[in-house]
Chains A and B, each alone.
Chain A
Amino acid sequence: MNTLIYTSVLGFTTMLMEVLNLRKFIVPLAVIGLAVIFGLNLQDWNQPSTHFNDMLGVSNFSVAFSGLALFITMIILVMAGEYYTNDENHISDYVTILIFITAGAMMMMSFNNLVMMFLGIETLSIALYALAGSKRFDTRSNEAGFKYFLMGSFASAILLFGIALVYGSVHSFHLSLISSFISENSTLPPMFITGVILIGFAMLFKVSAAPFHFWAPDVYEGAPALITAFMSTLVKIAGFAALYRLVTIGFNNGTPQTDQMLYVVAILTLLTGNLSALAQDNFKRLMAYSGISHAGYMLLIVLSAKSHVSSTLFYYSAAYAVAGLAAFSVALPVFKSTGSELLSAFNGLGKKNPVMAAGLTMAMIGMAGIPPFAGFFGKFYLFTKAFESGLFYIVLLAVINSMIGVYYYFKVIMAMYGKQPDETQIENPLSYQLVMWVCTALSLIWGIVPSLLTDLLL
């Protein structure tokens, strides 16, 4: 709760600094502020509490995920200082919106009431529609923003419809009352089930699971690369934290109906994400499809919610986030120097700049799930937990899919080491290097000592 208030205050502060003509200090202040909030957030550890008539519930789950959200935003802001060097007029708007999105993500990680969930999702999405379209003189960015806006508002409408049907049956928005409604009624009313499924549709849209994924590749490709990095890390993680919280606290670890739906969607998502990624030649589109396939893996965690897997979800999210951020910290300067976002932009990077190439290689290996990086143990714990919950066939499918995944992640590595370099020099500013080192180090540390994160949540 306090974390949410501090973050919102920080957002308003950065907004007002533009008025006070302190434009130069906005990014440093925001980064330091988020670091301070990260520390203050830890004070709530092991002190579960509920606030404002059980609207928000602070638990170790919400503290851990809020910490991750703050960390990701901090990294993104460090890169934003460099990314927006020629766009000083807008820097305060962008920073403020990014911080407000983090506040929305925190609501999605700590809600105990469907109203708060809806507000969190909307705060996150509406700001993101504008950021996706923020390159205003680029048609692709316009298309991304508009497409995301239309599809996203449609999904929000479906979400509201579902919430209304659930409210009609339960007469309350509180997750605890929905949960007791499910356990008290042996046969659930059809209206309630329809409502739950509609809420599920909207949530699956937000995490870009197939067959609700059609927006993701276009939006990821058209949005400014920094925003793509933000979408593929924080937004996806917030969506899954919300979905997991909804299923565990609200729906009693999954009703038979939601389990059936998630099962089918997980299979579809795994296949669509991985098979479509094979044919991509644009790095951002590749990351979009890779994000869809990761959504498929994370759906397995939600499916096995009965066996208390919040630590697995957290570990997987953290591993996925640092690998994604490390990959984009290399990709951003390459895009800027070469002016291209295709995979061919990485041609010969191994000769031109071995350090960057090594960083991207490690990020890709981490995403593919090869030891010793955290991505491997994320997948390992995920498959083990899902197997223990009796999801045999789908785990088998997921293992096959992660092998397919190795192929397209190695396409990037092959381009860097196997192809001849061209003339363009790659400028790599200090802040990108810093982000790359920090994220790769974290990925390695969490991979070697997984118990640092896995023992956090029960």
Chain B
Amino acid sequence: MDSSLIFYLLSALSVVSALFVVFSRSPIYSVLSLIVCFFSIAGHYVMLNAQFLAIIHIIVYAGAIMVLMLFTVMLLNLNKTTEPHKTNMTKIAAVISGGLLMLTLLASIRAEKLAAYQSPAPSELGYVQHVGLKLFQDFLLPFEISSILFVSAMIAAVVLAKKEKH
């Protein structure tokens, strides 16, 4: 099958499911359509020969994070279709600022001289060993430093969630 056809299918799927996340009134449906959105983005990664990234994307986002969100929605019993009432002023401000951002982005895409679609980088680019080499040679410092970020995020979670001793 033509690869551009797959591209358009995946793009349509991800855009529609992303819109559904925003417009769905029930949080459960939002989360479920977000899973669809993540899968279609993983499809894009495969199309770009980034197989490892696609798998990681599914495991981490569609697997771990989405399960966490579903649990949160269920445990906190957020599955109600009520929405907090927003004032008209907030809505107008949000529409104007969001619309301006979209206008800028669309205009810059239109003005950009995009190169014609060409077949992506060599198919072995996305193999684990290439990602690993890049990660442990060029990006060694960010890789190590991110451990500080994670430790401080964990301590931060403990600070907020530890049971108070009285």
Chain A residues with CB under 8 Å of chain B are 8, 11-12, 15, 51-53, 55-56, 89-90, 93-94, 96-97, 100-101, 103-104, 107, 113, 115-116, 119, 122-123, 126-127, 129-131, 133-134, 136, 145, 189-191, 193-194, 197
Is B105 in contact with chain A by the CB < 8 A criterion?
A: yes
Knowing A116-B145, A194-B108, say if A97 contacts B160 (CB, 8 Å).
no
Q: A190 to B145, alpha carbons, bound, how many Å?
A: 33
Q: A51-B141, A119-B145 are in contact. List 11 more A-B contacts (CB 8 A).
A: A11-B151, A53-B137, A93-B155, A101-B152, A116-B141, A123-B148, A123-B152, A126-B149, A126-B156, A129-B156, A194-B104
Nearest chain A CB to B121 CB, angstrom units: 12
Q: A194 to B108, alpha carbons, bound, how many Å?
A: 7
Q: Decide: B160 and A133 in contact? CB cutoff 8 A.
A: yes
Q: Decide: B141 and A190 in contact? CB cutoff 8 A.
A: no
CB nearest neighbor in B for A122: B149
Contacts of B158 in A (CB 8 A): 93
Q: Decide: A136 and B160 in contact? CB cutoff 8 A.
A: yes
Contacts of A122 in B (CB 8 A): 149
CB nearest neighbor in B for A51: B141
Nearest chain B CB to A359 CB, angstrom units: 31
Q: Decide: A130 and B156 in contact? CB cutoff 8 A.
A: yes
Q: Decide: B155 and A55 in contact? CB cutoff 8 A.
A: no
Q: Which of B88-132 contact A (CB under 8 A)?
A: 104-105, 107-109, 111-113
Knowing A190-B111, A191-B109, say if A93 contacts B159 (CB, 8 Å).
yes
Q: Decide: A191 and B160 in contact? CB cutoff 8 A.
A: no
Contacts of B104 in A (CB 8 A): 194, 197
CB nearest neighbor in B for A189: B112
Q: Decide: A190 and B108 in contact? CB cutoff 8 A.
A: yes
Q: A103 to B107, alpha carbons, bound, how many Å?
A: 39
Contacts of B153 in A (CB 8 A): 126-127
Q: A55 to B137, alpha carbons, bound, how many Å?
A: 11
Q: Decide: B108 and A55 in contact? CB cutoff 8 A.
A: no
Majority-rule SS of A interface residues: helix
Identify which of A53, A56, A190 gathers the most chain B CB atoms within 10 Å of its CB: A190
Interface size class of B (residues with CB under 8 A): 20 to 34
Contacts of A116 in B (CB 8 A): 141-142, 145
Is B83 in contact with chain A by the CB < 8 A criterion?
A: no
Q: Decide: B157 and A119 in contact? CB cutoff 8 A.
A: no
Is B165 in contact with chain A by the CB < 8 A criterion?
A: yes
Contacts of B162 in A (CB 8 A): 89-90
Instruction: Among A8, A11, A51, A193, point to the contact of B108 (Cβ < 8 A).
Output: A193
CB nearest neighbor in B for A126: B153
Q: A56 to B155, alpha carbons, bound, how many Å?
A: 26
Q: A56 to B160, alpha carbons, bound, how many Å?
A: 32
Contacts of A100 in B (CB 8 A): 148, 151-152, 155
Is B7 in contact with chain A by the CB < 8 A criterion?
A: no
Interface string of B133-144 (1 = CB under 8 A from A): 000011111100
Majority-rule SS of B interface residues: helix
Q: Decide: A134 and B141 in contact? CB cutoff 8 A.
A: no
CB nearest neighbor in A for B161: A136
Q: Which 3 A-B pairs have the closest CB atoms?
A: A130-B156, A190-B108, A52-B141
Contacts of B159 in A (CB 8 A): 90, 93-94, 97, 130-131, 134
Instruction: Among A55, A97, A194, point to the contact of B152 (Cβ < 8 A).
Output: A97
Contacts of A90 in B (CB 8 A): 159, 162
Contacts of A145 in B (CB 8 A): 160
Nearest chain A CB to B158 CB, angstrom units: 6
Q: Decide: A55 and B141 in contact? CB cutoff 8 A.
A: yes
Knowing A52-B141, A127-B156, say if A136 contacts B164 (CB, 8 Å).
yes
CB nearest neighbor in B for A56: B141
Knowing A52-B140, A89-B165, A133-B160, say if A97 contacts B108 (CB, 8 Å).
no
Knowing A89-B165, A115-B139, A134-B159, say if A126 contacts B152 (CB, 8 Å).
yes
Q: A129 to B105, alpha carbons, bound, how many Å?
A: 30
Contacts of A96 in B (CB 8 A): 152, 155
Q: A97 to B145, alpha carbons, bound, how many Å?
A: 15
Contacts of A56 in B (CB 8 A): 141
| Interface pairs (6), CB distance under 8 Å | A52-B141, A97-B159, A100-B155, A126-B149, A190-B108, A191-B108
Nearest chain A CB to B156 CB, angstrom units: 3
Q: Decide: A97 and B148 in contact? CB cutoff 8 A.
A: no
Q: A90 to B141, alpha carbons, bound, how many Å?
A: 30
Q: A90 to B158, alpha carbons, bound, how many Å?
A: 10
Q: Decide: B146 and A119 in contact? CB cutoff 8 A.
A: yes
Q: A18 to B107, alpha carbons, bound, how many Å?
A: 55
CB nearest neighbor in A for B97: A211
Q: A103 to B141, alpha carbons, bound, how many Å?
A: 14
Contacts of B146 in A (CB 8 A): 119
Nearest chain B CB to A170 CB, angstrom units: 14
CB nearest neighbor in A for B144: A52
Contacts of B137 in A (CB 8 A): 53
Instruction: Among A55, A113, A119, A189, point to the contact of B149 (Cβ < 8 A).
Output: A119
Contacts of B165 in A (CB 8 A): 89
Q: A145 to B158, alpha carbons, bound, how many Å?
A: 14
Nearest chain A CB to B142 CB, angstrom units: 5
Nearest chain A CB to B145 CB, angstrom units: 5
Q: A193 to B105, alpha carbons, bound, how many Å?
A: 10
Q: Decide: B160 and A130 in contact? CB cutoff 8 A.
A: yes
Q: A104 to B112, alpha carbons, bound, how many Å?
A: 35
Interface string of B30-72 (1 = CB under 8 A from A): 0000000000000000000000000000000000000000000
